[in-house]
């Protein structure tokens, strides 16, 4: 069965949608993201949170109210709910900015869910962030726009970068040195691959 696309909107800095929402997609409001969707006149399929950032508790059978004291974040619970509903690719808005600790917690989810075969894309103000584990990914970008690659695992082996100003071929990156920072697109599509490890991939988003 083909995995569905999930769109999650959190309580961080919302910078707009960069993709259309299809009827078969799943839309989840995460705490304060409920207000963002409400203002955009988008009805979420599910609403999840302890609602400390929203300030009210929405009503409805699709609302999951979480305790304020817990070991996992609202975003973590929302992603797992999306997986239960058939989601495999997650586009997450409002997951950056605001409190830095929550942003860092969300970025840690890149590694956690990459290990489970689930792909996350976080979108902030002019950038996207995703992860690739033991595989490859192709990303589109304007020539000269930035892209950076970091190892989320202790080591990432067999790293190959194509379509970029500073290519790599079968290289090893570590999480102790940022060798892959501040690269640039030289083609419309960049290819990033890793044979053994998990890479975080940051890229700027803009109009052609």
Instruction: With a cut of 60, say whether residue 208 has pLDDT above it.
Output: no
Q: Which residues pair with 138 in a beta bridge?
A: 191
Task: Give the whole-angstrom CA distance, residue 191 versus residue 167.
Answer: 10
Instruction: With a cut of 50, say whether residue 118 has pLDDT above it.
Output: yes
Supply the mean pLDDT for the chain.
93
First-to-last alpha carbon distance for the chain, in angstroms, is 35
* Domains of the chain (ranges, CATH numbers): 4-125 (3.40.50.10240), 132-204 (2.60.120.320)
pLDDT tens by residue, 53-99: 898 999 999 999 999 888 999 999 999 999 999 999 999 999 888 78
Give pTM, 2 decimals: 0.91
């Amino acid at each position: 069965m083909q995995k569905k696309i999930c769109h999650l909107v959190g309580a961080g800095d919302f910078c707009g949608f960069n993709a259309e929402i299809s009827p078969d997609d799943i839309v989840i409001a995460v705490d304060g993201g409920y207000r963002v969707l409400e203002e955009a006149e988008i009805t979420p399929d599910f609403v999840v949170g302890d609602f400390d950032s929203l300030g009210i508790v929405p009503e409805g059978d699709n609302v999951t109210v979480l305790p304020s004291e817990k070991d996992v974040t609202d975003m973590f619970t929302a992603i797992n709910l999306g997986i239960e509903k058939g989601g495999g690719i997650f586009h997450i808005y409002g997951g950056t900015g605001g409190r830095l600790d929550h942003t860092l917690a969300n970025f840690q989810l890149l590694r956690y869910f990459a290990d489970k075969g689930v792909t996350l894309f976080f979108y902030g103000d002019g950038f996207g962030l995703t992860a690739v584990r033991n595989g490859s990914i192709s990303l589109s970008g304007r020539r000269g726009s930035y892209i950076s690659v970091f190892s989320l695992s202790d080591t990432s082996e067999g790293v190959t970068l194509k379509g970029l100003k500073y290519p790599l071929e079968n290289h090893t990156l570590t999480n102790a040195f940022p060798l892959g920072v501040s690269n640039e697109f030289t083609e419309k599509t960049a290819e990033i691959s890793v044979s053994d490890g998990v890479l975080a991939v940051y890229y700027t988003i803009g109009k052609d």
